[in-house]
Structure 1
Amino acid sequence: MPKFSVRGIWQRWRDSYSKDGYKADDAITLFTGVPTMYARLLQGYEAMDADQKAASSYAAGQLRLMMCGSSALPYPVMKQWEDMTGHRLLERYGMTEFVMAISNPLHGNRKAKTVGKPLPRVEVKILSDEGVETKTGEGELCVRSPSLFKEYWKKETVTKESFTDDGFFKTGDTVTLDEDGYFKILGRTNADIMKVGGYKLSALEIESVLLEHDAVLECCVLGLADKDYGEVVCAIIVPHEDAKKKAEQESKPALTLQELRSWALERLAPFKLPKKLFLRDKLPRNAMGKEMKKLLEAEA
């Protein structure tokens, strides 16, 4: 397909498999996408009538495998997708510099909020802020693999800074291990990790919780500069259409900061609760950029 199309993808799947058992000769058997694609496909599904929903969920369920990558998959999206299609999306982790390195299993326990374990012949380690390897804490993920690239073209200094002395590539991603040895991506060290009052917080972790709120369609969490805490947690939220319509009828915001904090208090530690809230019709393309932070800080 020339570009991502919610309607086009659902139609392509329905053309591949029909509920009477028909399977097209060119039926789609595998689909891989990013979290935003799956969220958009779910929105498209909710807009269908009952017959279309039945045909669509059946067709999607016939695919051999569905995968997700490029960024953390919010648990509510994974859960909704599994309920609707029967597929537990297979999450994995890779970069251009070494292709795939870590993956949930094709056959076995695909754990939500993780990217799995190292693939065969891939070596990984976690380095703390002090550059010491850690087995139990969080830190920067480093990878050594047969598929690892040699160097950045004509960038000798950058190449040298990107590798450890023993040949591991420093990914720039902060990770931790769960109790089963599955890797959890906490975010880009220089973008998704906020430093709030002495705590290092993962924006991705907070986003995944806020997305479980009934009124929240999309959200982005970032740290805004604060003279007392260094940074404070800020949430940019796109409300569901139903929440917006109800709010318009009652002449109030679709969601207030106090409502969000009260709801999240049972799910997040107090120091992880948003201190600022911005409601938007859509997420800004560069929500994590410096310019966006400046605009929000000025608005706050």
Structure 2
Amino acid sequence: MSILNIYDIHVHGFFNGLMAPLYAGSTVEFLPKFSVRGIWQKWCESYPIEGSKADDATTVFTGVPTIYSRLIQGYHAMDPELQAASASAARNLRLMMCGSSALPLPVMQEWEAITGHRLLERYGMTEFVMALSNPLKGERKPGTVGKPFPGVQVKIIADEESGNENTGSGELCVKSPSLFKEYWKLPEVTKASFTDDGFFKTGDAVTTDKDGYYVILGRTSADIIKAGGYKLSALEIESVIIEHPAVSECCVLGLPDKDYGEIVCAIIVPEDGVKRKRDEESKPVLTLEELTTWAKDKIAPYKIPTRLILWDELPRNAMGKVNKKELKKLVVLEE
């Protein structure tokens, strides 16, 4: 088995992407840097349409949501013959996984349509490695991170405003054999990070669906927007907006507001084709009024953004993630 790993080397990369495969006798291949062309080419070389499977063929691939979005864009830029070869090659991989941040439903659906793979989503943190996962064999539910691994205990602690523990939504807390002991030389931070009965407070807001699959609503400090008495999940709103045909990427933030506490702001990266067409017509690629009209049948009115910002790209770190706290500071400073 050969695993192509393009995660940066945090604990997930060390344990899931490197140590576990090596322990199982696999070969792990690291790319010097992320390359859309390089990944598709590697798969095509692994599984040529005419010829036998390569001896060093990739069988497992792991990536973050942004990487799959970029691979989809690269696929659509290919000529039909290369598309056919690339899709055929990708279908021969045994497993494809996605983690690190929420996977937008349209990305999951399009990737499955192209490659036949329903991405395996899981949930973990440096402090305990992995805790939740959709099943390897069984129903992988879009928009969820599955259920606890064997030996892992989880519970939801509601905040003071909701009042009911272990029901509805709240902060996810984890107790696991792989749970860390303490933060180095930070005893007060360590104490504040654990419940009295030894569960680690992840800082992630979650809920569960009717089948007990966990749904990540976002970081309690960055993805939960408190607007006019409502507590809104930025990730939920993003998952709706990303379906708009003019939107390539989006990030939803709660911006300070004197009347509502926070307002919902959407930062959008336009889809290239739509942008070119609207530019030719001397029209903005998307207006707040157009977004509101489009979204009114898809999401509750109080969740629809009241501020829209168009950017050419979203600033990301080396792992491909957007730092919403820093992004919020940047937007506020620009006002």
Measure how far apart 1:186 and its partner are.
0.3
2:175 to 118, 140, 144: 144
1:5 aligns with 2:35: yes
Distance 1:128 1:233 in 2: 23
SS of the equivalent of 1:180 reads coil
Q: 2:150 aligns to what SS in structure 1?
A: coil
Q: What is the Cα deviation at residue 284 of structure 1?
A: 2.7
Conserved in 2, the CA contact under 8 Å of 1:28 and 1:63? Answer: yes
Alignment pair present for 1:289 and 2:316: no
Displacement, 1:181? Answer: 0.2
Map 1:105-254 to 2 at 5 A.
105-130=135-160, 134-254=165-285
How many residues align? The count is: 299
Deviations 1:188-224 (A, max 9, x none): 0000110000001011111111010111000000011
In 2, the alpha carbon distance for the partners of 1:213 and 1:134 equals 36
C-alpha distance in structure 1 between counterparts of 2:173 and 2:112, whole Å: 31
Separation in structure 2 between the aligned mates of residue 28 and residue 133 of structure 1, nearest angstrom: 47
Deviations 1:229-269 (A, max 9, x none): 11110000011111111111110100111111111111110
**Which residue in the other structure is 2:133 paired with?**
103
Matched-pair contact (CA < 8 Å) for 1:125–1:133: no
Deviation at 1:136, TM superposition (A): 2.9
> 1:207·1:221 contact (CA, 8 Å) conserved in 2?
yes
Task: Kindly indicate whether residue 114 of structure 2 is the aligned counterpart of residue 84 of structure 1.
Answer: yes
Matched, 1:93 2:123: yes
Q: Which moved more, 1:2-11 or 1:280-289?
A: 280-289
Q: Give the equivalent residue in structure 1 for 2:67.
A: 37
Distance in 2 of aligned mates of 1:135 and 1:172 = 15
Deviation at 1:287, TM superposition (A): 5.6
Deviations 1:262-281 (A, max 9, x none): 11111110000010101111
Which residues in structure 2 correspond to 1:273-288 (within 5 Å)?
Answer: 273-285=304-316, 288=324
Q: Which residue of 1 aligns with 2:22?
A: none
The alignment partner of 1:100 has SS state of coil
User: CA separation of 1:24/1:275 partners in 2, compared to 1, >3 Å: closer, same or farther?
Assistant: same
Residue among 66, 70, 76 paired with 2:100: 70
Q: Cα distance, 1:154 vs. partner?
A: 1.0
Q: Which moved more, 1:125-134 or 1:141-150?
A: 125-134
Cα distance between partner residues in 2 of 1:133 and 1:264: 31
Q: Normalising by structure 1, report the TM-score.
A: 0.97
TM-score by length of 2: 0.87
Q: Which piece of structure 1 moves more, 195-204 or 132-141? A: 132-141
Structure 2 counterpart of 1:105, which letter?
P
- Partner Cα separation in structure 2 for residue 122 and residue 5 of structure 1: 36
One-letter code aligned to 2:134:
N
CA RMSD of the aligned region, Å? 1.4
Structure 2 gaps of 5+ residues are 1-30, 317-321
CA displacement 1:1-21 (0-9 Å, x = unmatched): 111111111100111001235
